[in-house]
Each structure stands twice: as structure tokens, then as C-alpha cells.
Amino acid sequence: MTAFRTLDDAGPLQGKRVLLRVDLNVPMEGGRVTDATRIERIVPTINEIAGKGGRVVLLAHFGRPKGKPVATESLKPVVETLSRKLGRPVAFAEDCVGSAAADAVARLQDGDVALLENTRFHAGEEQNDRAFAEQLATNGDLYVNEAFSAAHRAHASTEGLAHLLPAYAGRLMQAELDALTKGLEAPTRPVIALVGGAKVSSKIDLLQNLVAKVDMLVIGGGMANTFLHAQGKAVGKSLCEKDLADTALRIVEAAKAAKCRIILPVDAVSASEFKANAAHETVPVDAVPETGMILDAGPASVAEINAAIDEAATLVWNGPLGAFELTPFDAATVATARHAAERTQAGKLVSVAGGGDTVAALNHAGVGETFSYVSTAGGAFLEWLEGKELPGVEALRAKG
């Protein structure tokens, strides 16, 4: 990846103060970390910098304190878990700027790590205030961004700092950018995108961007019902945004113009109740009962999707194909995910997935570790899929 500056471009780190922006917005309960996944993912970069003699100064936000200190949104409770996962002590500063931060950084020796308090305790963070970014910059010799999940925000610690210090992508950010480049920016074709979820309204920008970039687009989940309705098919009591029928038809026309093949369900699993193990039947999509709700794609739809995946060299996945939280309405998502995983393991498919429900669905199918890359970035991943520039990423782009 030559488009972005990475740690490989940073030169010797011995004795350097490295401001490392990380994502520590982890689930907490009773003052304890309940899911350390985000911490575990940043460990390799922290240890690499420390191992090269760098003095690691961690910047992060937690919660939404709205520009002022809030005791319940302090990063201090994270220190114990962070230290344990790193296998090295982590100092803590009661502020991210001013004397508290300066003193903590001054005490660091080569290879030491310090965590500064929540950047969002200052209004200048979310305002991307230049003066606040300059205060942060006084504690570093270079800046490394490891928080792709916050890269869609132009904040002082995610974007402003990159213009004040030599700036680089951390290893996790680098892996994310590599995966996204392989997914849509410079993919091996043919490319298939699978987009599911409940509503078209939340993914209009996404669909419009994808039809211009991919060769095949699978539309599943509740949003497929809106497209079926737009084509004149009765969808019973299914979730359906009937007022967006014209929008759906415009997306279909845009796909035709771009020579992108849209794949919609041809059969559906219908039930009259939205609950696990509800009585259900599989019917063609033009034969959904008046009292029925489409809760999953049927086996014929899965066969068509999997055949399309077999044609593809690259898969981008966002959203489930049905109500995967409820058995047996997880069947289409699980079968398709496992087929994509098999193709990936066989070296025949590059598979990139992301978004909250997507991560949960792939883990439910037991293939979260098998895809080429699964992003946990949520909003940043979606905005990238929509074709939007991410300020925190653009600031790391190599010049010239």
C-alpha cells in the first residue's frame, strides 16, 4: 500500500514521543471492561513502537461527555485491562493537555506507555480546534493513527494532529486500508456486493455508490422487500418502505446503466409472527400471504447468491439477509456466509465485511475469523462504502 504513510515510513523511533490515536471506546460495566476486543487489536502496534524504543502516548475518547470532564466517562478504568493485555505497565495522566499530560510524558523512558485522559473532555476535540490540536501536539514528535473507527470524524486527535506532526497509519489502520483498497478501490474483478439490513432509507447513498462500482449487487433483508414492492409484488405484512418505491426503481435503473446485475430474493421464508421458531413456510416472492412477513431469503435465493459468489473474485458484505437473530430465520445468512468463507479459504475470493450487524451475523455463522477482513469500524466502514472521504484517512495520504 503506497497511498498512505505507515510505520514503515516513520524511520527510527528510539527516544521519540509517539502520539498514538487509538479506539478505547470499549463496553464497560461497574467500572470494568466487559469486551476487550478493541484493546486486543491495538496491542501489536503499541508493542511494536515500544519495542523500537518509542515512548508511546495514547490518545483516545470514551463516550460522549460533550466537551467537559464527566467522571463516569474517564479512561482511567481502562488502564488495568490495557496493561494486562500489553504485558507492560501503563501510566495514566488526568488530562490530555496541560501540565498533567506534560508531566506524564516527561516521565516516560524509551519503551514506556502512557494513556492520557479522554480527549472529548475538551470542546476543542470535536470542534477540531487548531489551538487544542497544537496543545496535543506539544507532547509528541510524531503522530500515528490507529483508530479507523473514528476516521470519519474530523476531530483534533483524528485529523487536526496529522497536519501538525509527521503522520502515519498504525498497523491496524494499515490493515483496514489495505482491505478496503482490495474491496472497492482497486479490486480484483468481478466484484459482488451483498447489502442487507432493515431499511433502504438508511442505505440509499450506499446502494447508489455500489451500483456504479460493482459487477453484481445482492440486496437482502428487510430492504429487499421495498424493491420487491416496487416491482409490483405483494409483500404481506413485511417490513417495507413503500414510500421509497420510486427510489428503489431509480437504483435499479442506475444499475442497468452501469451494467451492474442486481440480485433480489426469488423465494422467501414467511411467518405471521416475528419470533424465534414461529410457524413458517417457504414461498415464491410473488406468493407471500397477506398475513405473512418475509423474515428470511429462501433456499432458491441462497443458491442464486452462492452461484454469483462463485463467479466473483471479490466480495464486499454489509448486513444480514434475514432476521438472523431468530432461528430458523438465520438460515440464508449462515449458508451464504459459510459458502463465502469456503471460497475465501480456497483462495478463490477476497472477502471484506463490516458493520455492527454484519460482524454479529458472521460470528453467528462461525466464519468471522475466516473472511479476508472483517471491519469493526461501524460508521467509518459505512461511510467508506458510500464513497465518502474519511478525514482521518485523507490526512495520512502520501503526498506527491
**HSE value, Cβ hemisphere, 13 Å, CA-based, for 127:** 11
Say which of 111, 368, 379, 387 is annotated catalytic.
379
- 354 noted as active-site residue: no
Say which of 53, 63, 356, 378 is annotated catalytic.
356
In this structure, how many other beta carbons lie within 10 angstroms of the beta carbon of residue 160? 26
Q: How far apart are CA 206 and CA 62, in angstroms?
A: 28
As a three-state string, the secondary structure of the chain is CCCECEHHHCCCCCCCEEEEECCCCCCEECCEECCCHHHHHHHHHHHHHHHCCCEEEEECCCCCCCCCCCHHHCCCCHHHHHHHHHCCCEEEECCCCHHHHHHHHHCCCCCCEEEECCHHHCHHHHCCCHHHHHHHHCCCCEEEECCHHHCCCCCCCCCHHHHCCCEEECHHHHHHHHHHHHHHHCCCCCEEEEECCCCCCCCHHHHHHHHCCCCEEEECHHHHHHHHHHCCCCCCCCCCCHHHHHHHHHHHHHHHHCCCEEECCCEEEEECCCCCCCCEEEEECCCCCCCCEEEEECHHHHHHHHHHHHHCCEEEEECCCCCCCCCCCCHHHHHHHHHHHHHHHCCCCEEEEECHHHHHHHHHCCCCCCCCEEECCCHHHHHHHCCCCCHHHHCCECCC
Say which of 5, 21, 38, 120 is annotated catalytic.
38
Chain-centroid distance of CA 325 in Å reads 20
- 38 noted as active-site residue: yes
Say which of 52, 88, 199, 338 is annotated catalytic.
199
- 338 noted as active-site residue: no
- 356 noted as active-site residue: yes
The catalytic residue positions are: 38, 199, 356, 379
